Amino acid sequence: MVDGEVWHSDEMIATTQLRHRNSRLSVLVLADKKPAENEVGQLKSRNIHFIGLSIGQEALIDKVLSLIYQNASYVVSATCEAPLVEIGSFTFDQAQQQLTIQDETRELTQREALLLEYLQSRRNEVVRRESILKAIWGEDNYFAGRSLDVFISRLRKYLQQDSSILIENIHGVGFRFAVSD
């Protein structure tokens, strides 16, 4: 995260040097004004995101989480093995993106795995639809919302073998990933 006041000084040089070491590094610049329209595309292609200072705390947290989840598969593989997570009768291997019950293993897509990890980390809590969309899709719009519905449907189908697991719709709010013991 970089202060927009010093964006064109030493901090920018340091950020550029860090990005040479790790090209997947996301840079979040907090500034009181956004860059010129002709610079926005170039900056986004370099994974540099500008946010206005007037943004609320919740929106800032959502943006940071979005950047983290967009790069989650890289972070997991670059650091250490992700743990195996028990979800009812299933075992979820986050690093391998696999869901296993008894001797049956299902390969998950990256987005399916990210969504399952996001939901299971918030077990039995109501999760706002907007939070999921911003964290995993990076945006909250009509098309991302329809895509979320498809992925929720897929996860429900995969998890239906265990009746103790339920992905509930909370009308007008979001979802609850309920796992009964």
Residues 1/30, Cβ–Cβ less than 8 Å: yes
Q: pLDDT tens digit string along 145-178?
A: 999 999 999 999 999 999 999 999 999 999 999 9
User: DSSP assignment, residue 178?
Assistant: E
110-120 vs 142-159: helix crossing angle, rounded to 10: 80
DSSP per position, 63-96 = HHHHHHHHTHHHHHHHS-PPPEEEETTEEEETTT
Checking if the pLDDT of 8 tops 60, the result is no
Mean pLDDT confidence for 93-103: 93
Report the alpha-carbon distance of residue 43 to residue 50 in Å, rounded: 9
Checking if the pLDDT of 117 tops 60, the result is yes
pLDDT band at 42 (very low <50, low <70, confident <90, very high): low
Residues 118/136, Cβ–Cβ less than 8 Å: yes
For the whole model, what pTM was predicted? 0.59
Instruction: Count CA atoms closer than 13 A to 1's CA, side-chain side.
Output: 12
- Per-residue pLDDT, 76: 45
Residue ranges of domains in the chain = 2-55, 75-179
* CATH number belonging to domain 75-179: 1.10.10.10
- Per-residue pLDDT, 18: 59
